[in-house]
Amino acid sequence: MIDTRFNCLPTMIGSLPHKDPKRACALIVHYLKDLPSWPQLPALNPLEGMVAQFGEGFPGLAIADGKITVDTTDSDSNLGVIYESYLEGNAEVFPISSMYAAGLHEFLNLPALSPLAAKGQVTGPISFGLSVRDTSGKALLYDEMLADAAARLLHLKARWQESRLRQISSHTIVFVDEPGMASYGSAFFNLSKEQIVTLINEVLSGIAGLKGVHCCGNTDWGIIVSTKTNILSFDAYNHAASLALFPKEMEKFIAQGGAIAWGIVPTSEVLAKESVASLKDRLEDAMAPFTHQSMSYARIKEQALLTPACGLAALSEDGAEQALQMLTELSIRMRCRVK
């Protein structure tokens, strides 16, 4: 397995605005040769939305009018196949089909790739559980049995996906995407730290290679690094100050070999106002609070990935390409120490 000394190599979070999987994958392999990530394509098909994409096969799950619900009738017996497959370690029962992930299947069929690692992603159990509701309108996350079953399903989805990514590279990186963790601490979020860590670790345990947790909002980063993750991925463009509130936790994480994926390239219209030079300044400012005698700038940079702040699906196709171009140019400057 590769270690976490990425030295500011670029990769991406997941989504692109494209409707053509071939064009999306061509863009990725052009700009992200070392760490390509398969593209989620929600503009192509609503089933490729980050929650719906990994709900395939969950008993009673239905998608209609942009809402995702679960019919809990006789759920005990219907959920049995998830637990049986989980206990047997048989992820083949819950594949990610081309109907739900055209970009993944196009990516897997690309010829002659030889990256350092192949990256994928799966929705996290917190975000999945907050987005999916039962027929009474209750979030799945607050039904202990359903939340546990969902985490095990996502474990299987991650395991299945990673097994396919190994066709491209023996080294893999899979991120667990948890934008829902930005709700932690709010009045309507009613889950303890211990419950959160248990659910996220359940999914992470399905990943044999390097594993990351991504959140594109403010959250308690101490919780994230207390999971079994190797990589903390965050929106460094908008929320660098929030990570700086956890200096001791980050120092320990880095000292133990953890890496930070700095989401420094914006994924909104403000991209047009930035340059590679301005993003480099912003990135170095974001890293500065963690550089001191016991944790040098060189160490921070060595154990760093560079990414867009979040998925790129909200941009135009030209905008997404501009973001990836700026990302790769920034990576070169950081690795070559260009001032």
- pLDDT, residue 270, reads 96
Give percent of the chain above pLDDT 70.
97
Flag whether 154 is in a domain.
yes
pLDDT for 291:
87
Task: Look up the domain containing 85 and give its range.
Answer: 9-336
Please state the three-class secondary structure of 148-174 as a single string. HHHHHHHHHHHHHHHHHHCCCCCCEEE
Give 183 or 3, the one with higher predicted confidence.
183
Question: By C-alpha distance, which of 312, 327, 215, 306 is closest to 261?
Answer: 306
> Rounded mean pLDDT of the chain?
94
Choice among 40-54, 89-103, 160-174, 181-195 with the minimum mean pLDDT: 181-195
pLDDT value, residue 25 = 98
Number of structural domains (the chain) is 1
Overall average pLDDT of the 250-276 stretch? 96
Residue 183 in any domain: the answer is: yes
Q: What distances in angstroms separate CA 100 from CA 41, 52, 58, 133, one per listed residue?
A: 9, 8, 13, 20
Lowest mean pLDDT among 17-21, 91-95, 188-192, 327-331: 188-192
Judged by average pLDDT, the poorest of 56-60, 72-76, 120-124, 248-252 is 72-76
Of the candidates 164, 182, 176, the one whose C-alpha atom is nearest the C-alpha of residue 54 is 176
H runs (alpha helix) in the chain: 21-31, 75-78, 80-88, 102-108, 125-131, 144-165, 193-204, 221-225, 236-243, 247-255, 276-287, 297-302, 317-336
Q: DSSP string covering 215-246, please? A: ESS---HHHHHTSS-SEEEE-HHHHHHHHTT-
Distance of CA 4 to the CA centre of its chain: 16
Residues recorded for the chain: 339
On whether residue 218 sits in a domain, the answer given is yes
The closest alpha carbon to 339, from 279, 277, 296, 294, belongs to 277
76 confidence band (pLDDT: 50, 70, 90): low
Assigned domain for 2 exists: no
Token pair belonging to 181? 């963790």
Single out the residue of 11, 168, 24 nearest to residue 102, CA to CA.
24
Residue 254 has pLDDT above 60, yes or no: yes
121 within domain boundaries = yes
CATH of the domain at 48: 3.20.20.210
- pLDDT category at 1 given cuts 50, 70, 90 is very low
Q: Does the structure show a pLDDT above 70 at 75?
A: no
| Domain presence at residue 70 | yes
pLDDT (tens digit, 9 = 90+) per residue, 107-139? 999 998 999 999 999 999 999 999 999 988 999
Decide: pTM greater than 0.85.
yes
Is 308 domain-assigned?
Answer: yes
Residue 339: pLDDT over 60: no
According to the model, what pLDDT value does residue 338 have?
Answer: 40
The reported pLDDT for the residue numbered 73 is 78
| Residue 58 or 77, more confident | 58
pLDDT tens digits, residue range 193-212? 999 999 999 999 999 999 99
CA Rg, the chain, in Å?
A: 19
Which is it for strands 172-177 and 231-234: parallel, antiparallel or unpaired? unpaired
In a domain, 1, yes or no: no
pLDDT tier at 77, thresholds 50, 70, 90: low
